[in-house]
Amino acid sequence: MSCNYLIDHIPPNTPCNRRPALPMLATTITIHNTGNPSSTARNERNWLTNPSNNRTASYHIVIDEREAIECLPLSENAWHSGDGSGAKSGNRTSIGIEICESGDYAKTLDNAASLVASMLRERGWGVDRLRRHYDWSGKICPRLMYDNGKWTGWEAFKAAVSSKSTQNVQESEPKQERGDMMMEKIEVYMNDKKLIDGLYDTKAGVTYVPVRTVAEALGAGVKWDAKNKRVELKC
């Protein structure tokens, strides 16, 4: 991904229950537009903790032309789908990504497609795991992907994500050996549910797979400390 990914979680005591901290093992990723043509990712993150904000609404990630900000842990639910709090609701089962409308929107869309492709690959998922806000509650969102009764922009976005996912596979598969790295196709299951399926480094009897995918499946939060180059897991 060509933009920075920052983790800046809102506090658990944020007003209006915006971080309910209900554990979530996501099964889909839901795409939104912010609905604000002048707001950046940082603005949207700060809106969640703005004292004047009285809405019970939140999201996991917001992205613009420069950066993506993780506002809630991906192992916790957010209120973004408008379909209540049932066990199978989008609010309880889906990672919510808000795409900003300000600035260079084409660049923002490309960043979003790259981010989503990476997230799908980490989890061993395909584009069939993508959802619109519309799919959960009927709201016309992501609104900029809707055109006179047709979701042409949505289909184009899914195609871009699929292309980037395929490109990643094509770039990795021919390179089975990379110096001291040996890439092999690895599948990881938990309780008969597939978590990971892809090419990963194996050497000296050790298999290296994405820590976030495994940790979130076990109900742990994952935080990347870029300064100290450290991954922190919190249960």
Q: Which pLDDT value is given to residue 176?
A: 44
Q: Is the pLDDT of residue 4 over 80?
A: yes
3-state per-residue secondary structure call for the chain: CCCEEEECCCCCCCHHHCCCCCECCCCEEEEEECCCCCCCHHHHHHHCCCCCCCCCCCCCEEECCCEEEECCCCCECCCCCCCCCCCCCHHHHEEEEEECCCCCHHHHHHHHHHHHHHHHHHHCCCHHHEEEHHHHHCCCCCHHHCECCECHHHHHHHHHHHHHHHHHHHHHCCCCEECCEEEEEEEEEECCEEEEEEEEEEECCEECCCHHHHHHHCCCEEEEECCCCEEEEEC
Architecture of domain 4-172: 3-Layer(aba) Sandwich (3.40)
Question: pLDDT tens digits, residue range 169-210?
Answer: 544 444 444 444 455 667 777 777 766 666 565 655 566 667
Q: Is the pLDDT of residue 52 over 70?
A: yes
Residues 6+ apart with CB under 8 A from 55: 16
The Cα 200–Cα 222 span in angstroms is 20
Question: pLDDT tens digits, residue range 55-64?
Answer: 999 999 999 9
Q: Which two tokens stand for residue 120?
A: 């799908």
Domain with CATH 3.40.80.10 in the chain: 4-172
Mean pLDDT of all residues in 160-168: 86
Q: Which pLDDT value is given to residue 212?
A: 72
The Cα 201–Cα 179 span in angstroms is 11
Question: pLDDT tens digits, residue range 115-152?
Answer: 999 999 999 999 999 999 999 999 999 999 999 999 99
Confidence of residue 234 (pLDDT cuts 50, 70, 90): confident
State how beta strands 94-99 and 28-33 pair. parallel
Lowest mean pLDDT among 2-11, 94-103, 129-138, 207-216: 207-216
